[in-house]
């Protein structure tokens, strides 16, 4: 009878745990040094130039923020979807993105305590955990991801109203910073699946009558349209390069992971750097690196090392979990699953559908940009986009990570899943976690579901290759 | 030589093993309660499946003889029961030794120690013949037949008869002894035990009352009557066949582990598969037109959609809350002080279904007590509870895509008649008359069966020559 004794496998397991623990410890030390989350691998992984570049950009940004008052710079808090970064920068204002701070806190294992503090002040368990994490961070001195203090806001710019929580979030911040001016840009939803001229005019009018006057007031500077246009040239350049990088995943093997690594690639362009020279430099470097990987026939870089065998190609819908980002990624890495396209990397713009910031009509272009971000698409548009990804990127499977916090993402996901299954015939999977609340990331449950899902994919592959 | 394939499903509550032959026919089933040492649970389930397989091969070999001599079948069935009793005795000795050991280490005071030891001896003496009686005359009935449950129940019965001051120390000794005893692997010698069982049977038939009609407690039937006067002859003519299956070497060609504890099974990595795939594959094998599978196990509920090959296309599971699973029913049974197997039949007596709001296992207990205080009948409360379980399952199924024809229900909870009643009702209400619902008597073994079938198809072991053949069959 073939059942063998347990010892060797258990011992092997313990050994692996030890190796993993050591790695994690190393990681911790590394993180402490840099105060940044592991960018594609903090300790052992390959450090590419683009990673170093991005790290420097962020260090500079947060250092500048910490000295904003002494530098005499004014600060705008704003959101990632539909952000008006070029406009903010054209007034020499410094943007702060509370969502990014929250996800950074999640990665640095600080979110649990922040969320707890926010709940102590009365926020319910059901409130978006980005909000609670951000509020908790403010209650604890507003120390940012680099360990430097973030400046108080001089303006709250609510640039995207597609998320109802955003409104409530800034209402809370308004109470935390009494007297701070709020500018609100009401973003029409793409209910009919298109952006009409009237919608653009409505947005432009708001920019002209609400947003720009408030920015002028806070910055003490006049709006400079030509400066904005100049920046948009840089935006378009960087956007072209980002699309090239993301679309490189159509190759087999893909040189990039378009979800886990993708979140690093979108970092500069979705936040404070769009429209800057620095962003163009970063994306030029990144694209060079990706081209090199293509030439060498290499797979994606991961924190565990290079992915050597691409077993499954997946399209993923929904944001990642940030508190267990690396463990989450590793489950995919271990099985040889790579994400070739994701919707999360489109939250700050679906550039691969052709949109570019247009220097010849900057305010119209900003308006279209706001209304074109992924969560502002209607559900049929989202389904069509995912269907296109499955086909264009030759995906073997479609997976949803449904996060508890985010209504903008999670509402309609089961319908999306059904539709994709019917339209493409590929196996679909569904896992549940959260953005930054570690209480909602159950490693065992997620691993169990993913294992089943990967085995589904494996079976299908066997059947398909036999041409049954 | 015949080849056999083993599937082991290590669930949260029970561990199951199934052995199939090269035609995917189940020839052996084994089941035991899951315990701290998963490896022991898996071994016990597997050993039981192999023992069971020997008996089913014996019956198969004697197919024509059994038709001609129905008393053969009765004899073999009896023999299997008594064989189980022989295993029980060995385990009982183990727990007996463990109890004595615990008592000696726990009670340092000599007098106290002696007092407890004498109680233990008394208890042992009292319940051994009862258990024997139950096994020999098949009186264990619908009760849970796992060793732990049987001995715990009997031990409790005996302790309750003693002075109340002894309750605490005796239960302490028990609690400290049952786990080590249960988590130790016991090796059984089939040949030795089967011969003991045959001797035991002789004794049983010798003692049977001469006229069957007077005694209804002994399950008398026509075959038994035939056997009664003839057992000496029957046992002698079967002996060579019994020896033959005893000597049979079990060549397990491949195996698959599945279930919650699968990662802890001492199986090679490529022999471990997800229980979702195994349940679906097993259900699809028994009912090939299955498109939707509902599995309600000890602590999880799974809604699975499969295609015509039995491959999973999507699934949903309740990995956040165990309300509505087997453990939930167990908890309710405890709250009501009845056995798990009585729940369903009692719920079948419901005249209406009391609305149960609680979505939490623990709070359902409080709700149940409150409803009892309000004067609701137990049957009606249980009716409501069983309906609530299915309502939860229906929501999960809806999330997975809905019910498609045919619909197969698997897992331990599929043995509960009230669950099945409400399932049929709610499927009809939600999806119309056109859905055929399949429930198999082996529903609890579906995961293990699917595992064994995967093992036979060698999917993971990558034998390129066999693969195509296996998958297209």
Residues of A in contact with B466 (CB under 8 A): none
Taking only the tens place, the pLDDT of each residue in A349-404 is: 999 999 999 999 999 999 999 999 999 999 999 999 999 999 999 999 999 999 99
Rg (CA), chain B: 24
Cα–Cα–Cα angle for A407, A411, A417, rounded to 5 degrees:
140
pLDDT tens per residue, range A9-21 = 444 444 444 444 4
Of B203 and A30, the one with more pLDDT: B203
Q: Helices A443-465 and B275-286 sit at what angle, rounded to 10 degrees?
A: 50
Task: Return the CATH architecture of domain B288-439.
Answer: 2-Layer Sandwich (3.30)
pLDDT at B145: 73
Distance from CA of B283 to the nearest CA of A (A): 16
Give the pLDDT score at B223: 62
Query: Where does the pLDDT of residue A227 fall: very low under 50, low under 70, confident under 90, or very high at 90 and above?
Result: very high
- A423–chain B Cβ distance below 8 A for any pair: no
* Cα separation, A170 vs A157, whole angstroms: 9
Percent of all residues in chain B with a pLDDT value above 90, rounded to a whole number: 42
Please give the Cα distance from A460 to B311 (Å, whole number): 7
Mean pLDDT (chain B) is 86
Bond prior to A327 in cis (omega within 30° of 0): no
A17 touches chain B (CB under 8 A): no
For residue A445, the chain B residues in CB contact (below 8 A) are 319-320
DSSP three-state, residue B360? coil
Tell me, yes or no, if A418 comes closer than 8 A to chain B by beta carbon: yes
How many angstroms separate the CA atoms of A171 and A164, rounded? 11
pLDDT of residue A267: 94
Are B67 and B55 in contact by the 8 Å Cβ rule? The answer is: no
Given pLDDT bands bounded at 50, 70 and 90, which one contains residue A174?
Answer: very high
Alpha carbon dihedral B72, B77, B80, B85, in 10-degree steps, equals -120
A466 close contact with B: CB closer than 8 A: yes
Which of B255, B266, B401 faces A6 most closely, judged by CB atoms? B266
- Give the least confident one: A213-222, B65-74, B302-311, B335-344: B65-74
Span B36-62, mean pLDDT? 91
**B472 in A contact zone (CB under 8 Å):** yes
CB-CB under 8 Å, B319 with A417: no
From the candidates B49, B307, B314, which should be mutated to test the interface with A, based on the most A CB atoms within 10 A?
Answer: B314
pLDDT at A335 over 90: yes
8 Å CB contact of B314 and A430: yes
Residue A108's closest CA among A53, A218, A178, A28? A28
Say if the Cβ atoms of A452 and B276 lie within 8 Å. Answer: yes
Measured between beta carbons, which residues in chain A are less than 8 angstroms from residue B317?
449
Contacts of A463 in chain B (CB under 8 A): 309, 311, 471
Distance, in angstroms, between A314 CA and closest chain B CA?
15
> What pLDDT shows up at residue B1?
66
Q: B192-203 burial, b for 16+ CB within 10 Å, e for fewer?
A: ebbbbbbebbee
B311 in reach of chain A (CB within 8 A): yes
Cα–Cα dist B77/B81, whole Å: 6
Query: For residues B178 and B102, what is the distance between their CA atoms, to the nearest angstrom?
Result: 10
Domain ranges of chain B: 288-439
Give B43→chain A minimum CA distance, Å.
8
Per-residue pLDDT at B335:
87
Residue in A200, A202, A189, A185 with CA at minimum distance from that of residue A407 = A189
The answer to whether residue B465 scores a pLDDT higher than 80 is no
Using the predicted structure, report yes or no on whether residue B334 has a pLDDT greater than 90.
no
> Which of the given ranges, A270-284, B167-181, B360-374, has the highest pLDDT on average?
A270-284
A109 and chain B in contact, CB less than 8 A = no
CB contact under 8 A, B459 and A468: no
Q: Sketch the domain layout of chain A as residue ranges.
A: 39-465
In B427-466, the residues whose Cβ lies within 8 Å of chain A are: 459
Token pair recorded at residue A54: 């991005």
pLDDT of residue A415 exceeding 70: yes
> Residue A189 corresponds to which tokens in the numbers above?
């939803």
- Cβ of residue A427 closer than 8 Å to a chain B Cβ: yes
Q: Is the pLDDT of residue B392 over 80?
A: yes
Q: How many helices (H) and strands (E) does chain B have?
A: 17, 9
A452:B274 CB<8 A: yes
B259 to chain A: closest CA residue: A448
User: Is A422 an 8 Å CB contact of chain B?
Assistant: no
Q: By the 8 A CB rule, do B197 and B223 touch?
A: no
Over residues B139-184, the pLDDT tens digits come to 766 555 788 888 888 899 899 988 888 899 999 999 999 999 999 8
pLDDT band with cut points at 50, 70 and 90 for residue B339? confident
Condensed to tens digits (0 to 9), the pLDDT of residues B239-254 reads 888 888 888 888 888 8
pLDDT for the residue B306? 93
- Asked if the C-beta of A16 comes within 8 angstroms of chain B's C-beta atoms, the answer is no
CA B13 to chain centre: 10
- Contact yes or no for A456 and B313 at CB 8 A: yes
Q: Which tokens is A178 given?
A: 């009494």
pLDDT on residue B264: 76
SS (H, E, C) chain A: CCCCCCHHHHHHHHHHHHHHHHHHHHHHHHHHHHCCCCCCCCCCCCCCHHHHHHHHHHHHHHHHHHCHHHHCCCEEEECCCCCCHHHHHHCCCEEECHHHHHHHHHHCCCHHHHHHHHHHCCCCCCCCHHHHHHHHHHHCCCECCCCCECCCCCEEEECCCCCHHHHHHHHHHHHHCCCCCEEECCCCCCCCCCCCHHHHHHHHHHHHHHHHHHHHHHHCCCCCHHHHHHHHHHHHHHHHHHHHHHHHHHCCCCCCCCCCCHHHHCHHHHCCCCCCHHHHHHHHHHHHHHHHHHHHCCCCEECCEECCCCCEEEEEECCCCCCCHHHHHHHHHHHCEEEEEECHHHCCCCHHHCCCCCCCCHHHHHHHHHHHCHHHCCHHHHHHHHHHHHHHCCCCEEEEEEECCCHHHHCCHHHHHHHHHHHHCCCEEEEEECCCCHHHCCHHHHHHHHHHHHHHHHHHHHHHHCCC
Min Cα–Cα distance to chain A from B450, Å? 14
Q: What is the mean pLDDT of chain A?
A: 90
Helices (H), B215-325: 222-228, 231-247, 275-286
Q: Name the band, by pLDDT with cuts 50, 70 and 90, for residue A42.
A: very low
Closest CA to A37 of A131, A104, A129, A112: A104
ipTM above 0.90, yes or no: no
Higher pLDDT: B218 or B434? It is B434
CA angle B202, B203, B208 (to 5 degrees): 100
pLDDT of residue B78: 86
Which residues of chain A make contact with B304, given a CB cutoff of 8 A?
Answer: none
Query: Which residues in chain A touch residue B43, judged by CB atoms under 8 angstroms apart?
Result: 3
| Alpha carbon distance B230, B337 (integer Å) | 44
Residue contacts between A and B (CB atoms, under 8 Å): 80
Q: Does A171 or B251 have the greater pLDDT score?
A: A171
Whether the CB-CB separation of B278 and B297 falls below 8 Å is answered with no
Of B395, B401, B467, which to mutate for an interface test with A (greatest number of A Cβ within 10 Å)? B401
Which tokens is A118 given? Answer: 């926010």
Q: Check residues B228 and A205 and name the one with the higher pLDDT.
A: A205
| Binary contact (B274, A3; C-beta < 8 A) | no
Average pLDDT rounded to a whole number, residues B434-450: 94
CB contact under 8 A, A442 and B313: no
Distance CA B318, CA B411 (A): 14
Query: CB-based contact (8 Å) between B395 and chain A?
Result: no
| Interface check A63 vs B, CB under 8 A | no
| Closest chain B C-alpha to A132 CA, distance in angstroms | 23
**pLDDT reading at A338 higher than 80:** yes
A 376-415 near B (Cβ less than 8 A): 414
Over 60: is that where the pLDDT of A43 sits? Answer: no
Mean pLDDT on A220-240:
97
Q: Which of A150, A144, A151, A160 is nearest to A78 (CA)?
A: A160
Task: Supply the pTM of this predicted model.
Answer: 0.84
Beta-carbon count within 10 A of A364 CB: 16
Rama region for A318: left / alpha / beta (φ>0; ψ in -120 to 50; rest)? left
Query: What percent of chain B stands above pLDDT 70?
Result: 90
Which comes out higher in pLDDT, residue B139 or A240?
A240
Question: Does the pLDDT of residue A60 top 90, yes or no?
Answer: yes
């Amino acid at each position: 009878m073939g059942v063998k004794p347990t010892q060797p496998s258990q011992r092997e397991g313990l050994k692996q745990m030890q190796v993993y623990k050591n790695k994690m410890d190393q990681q911790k030390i590394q993180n402490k040094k840099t105060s940044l989350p592991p960018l594609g691998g903090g300790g052992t992984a390959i450090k590419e130039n683009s990673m170093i570049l991005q790290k420097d950009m962020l260090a500079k940004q947060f250092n500048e923020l910490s000295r904003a008052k002494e530098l005499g710079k004014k600060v705008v808090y704003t959101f990632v979807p539909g952000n008006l970064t070029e406009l903010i920068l054209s007034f020499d204002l410094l943007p702060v993105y509370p969502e990014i701070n929250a996800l950074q806190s999640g990665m640095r294992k600080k979110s649990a305590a922040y969320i707890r503090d926010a709940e102590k002040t009365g926020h319910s368990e059901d409130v978006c955990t980005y909000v609670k994490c951000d509020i908790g961070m403010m209650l604890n001195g507003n120390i940012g991801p680099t360990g430097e203090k973030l400046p108080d806001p001089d303006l709250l710019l609510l640039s995207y109203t597609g998320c109802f929580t955003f409104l409530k979030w800034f209402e809370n911040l308004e109470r935390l910073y009494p007297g701070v001016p709020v500018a609100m840009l009401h973003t029409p939803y793409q209910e009919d699946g298109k952006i009409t001229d009237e919608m653009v005019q409505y947005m432009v009018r708001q920019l002209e009558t609400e947003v720009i006057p408030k920015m002028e007031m806070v910055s003490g500077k006049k709006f400079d349209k030509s400066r904005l246009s100049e920046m948009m040239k840089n935006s378009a350049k960087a956007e072209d390069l980002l699309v090239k990088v993301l679309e490189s995943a159509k190759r087999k093997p893909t040189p990039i992971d378009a979800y886990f690594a993708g979140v690093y690639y979108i970092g500069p362009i979705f936040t404070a750097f769009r429209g800057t020279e620095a962003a163009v430099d970063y994306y030029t470097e990144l694209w060079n690196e990706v081209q090199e990987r293509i030439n060498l026939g290499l797979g994606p870089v991961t924190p565990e090392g290079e992915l050597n065998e691409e077993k499954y190609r997946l399209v993923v819908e929904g944001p990642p979990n940030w508190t267990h980002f690396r463990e989450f990624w590793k489950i995919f890495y271990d099985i040889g699953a790579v994400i070739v396209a994701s919707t999360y990397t489109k939250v700050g713009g679906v550039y691969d559908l052709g949109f570019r910031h247009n220097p010849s009509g900057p305010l119209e272009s900003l308006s279209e940009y706001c209304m074109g971000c992924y969560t502002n698409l209607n559900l049929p548009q989202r389904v069509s986009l995912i269907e296109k990804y499955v086909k264009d990127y030759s995906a073997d499977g479609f997976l949803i990570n449904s996060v508890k916090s985010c209504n903008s993402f999670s509402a309609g996901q089961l319908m999306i899943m059904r539709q994709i299954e019917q339209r493409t015939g590929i196996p679909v999977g569904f896992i549940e976690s959260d953005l930054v609340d570690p209480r909602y990331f159950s490693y065992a449950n997620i691993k169990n579901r993913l294992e089943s899902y990967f085995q589904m994919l494996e079976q299908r592959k066997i059947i398909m290759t036999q041409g049954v | 030589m015949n080849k056999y394939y083993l599937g082991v499903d290590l669930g949260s509550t029970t561990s199951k093993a199934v052995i199939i032959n090269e035609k995917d026919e189940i020839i052996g089933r084994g089941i035991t309660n899951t315990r701290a040492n998963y490896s022991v649970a898996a071994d016990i389930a597997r050993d039981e499946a192999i023992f069971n397989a020997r008996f089913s091969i014996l019956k198969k070999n004697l197919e024509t003889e059994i038709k001609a001599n129905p008393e053969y079948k009765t004899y073999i069935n009896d023999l299997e029961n008594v064989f189980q009793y022989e295993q029980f005795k060995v385990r009982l000795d183990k727990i007996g030794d463990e109890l004595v050991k615990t008592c000696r280490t726990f009670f340092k005071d000599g007098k106290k120690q002696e007092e407890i030891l004498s109680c233990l001896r008394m208890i042992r003496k009292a319940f051994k013949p009862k258990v024997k009686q139950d096994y020999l005359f098949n009186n264990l009935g619908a009760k849970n037949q796992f060793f732990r449950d049987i001995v715990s129940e009997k031990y409790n019965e005996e302790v309750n008869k003693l002075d109340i001051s002894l309750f605490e120390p005796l239960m302490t000794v028990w609690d400290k002894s049952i786990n080590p005893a249960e988590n130790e692997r016991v090796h059984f010698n089939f040949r030795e035990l089967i011969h003991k069982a045959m001797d035991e049977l002789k004794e049983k038939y010798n003692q049977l009352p001469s006229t069957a009609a007077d005694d209804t407690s002994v399950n008398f039937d026509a075959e038994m009557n035939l056997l009664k006067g003839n057992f000496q002859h029957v046992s002698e003519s079967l002996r060579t066949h019994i020896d033959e299956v005893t000597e049979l070497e079990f060549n397990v060609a491949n195996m698959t582990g599945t279930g919650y504890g699968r990662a802890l099974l001492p199986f090679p990595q490529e022999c471990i598969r997800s229980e979702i795939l195994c349940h679906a594959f097993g259900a699809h094998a028994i009912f090939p037109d299955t498109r939707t599978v509902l599995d309600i196990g000890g602590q999880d509920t799974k809604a699975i959609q499969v295609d015509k090959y039995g491959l999973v296309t999507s699934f949903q599971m309740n990995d956040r809350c165990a309300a509505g699973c087997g453990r939930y029913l167990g908890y309710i049974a405890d709250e009501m002080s009845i056995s798990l197997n009585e729940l369903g039949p009692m719920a079948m007596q419901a005249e209406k279904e009391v609305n149960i709001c609680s979505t939490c296992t623990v709070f359902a207990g409080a709700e149940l007590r409150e409803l009892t205080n309000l004067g609701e009948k137990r049957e009606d409360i249980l009716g409501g509870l069983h309906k609530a379980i299915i309502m939860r399952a229906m929501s999960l199924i809806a999330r997975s895509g809905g019910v498609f024809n045919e619909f197969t229900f698997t897992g331990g909870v599929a043995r509960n008649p009230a669950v099945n009643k409400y399932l049929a009702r709610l499927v009809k209400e939600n999806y119309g008359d056109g859905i055929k619902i399949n429930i198999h008597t082996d529903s609890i073994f579906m995961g293990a069966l699917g595992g064994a079938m995967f093992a036979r198809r060698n999917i993971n072991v990558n034998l390129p020559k066999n693969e195509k053949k296996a998958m297209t069959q």
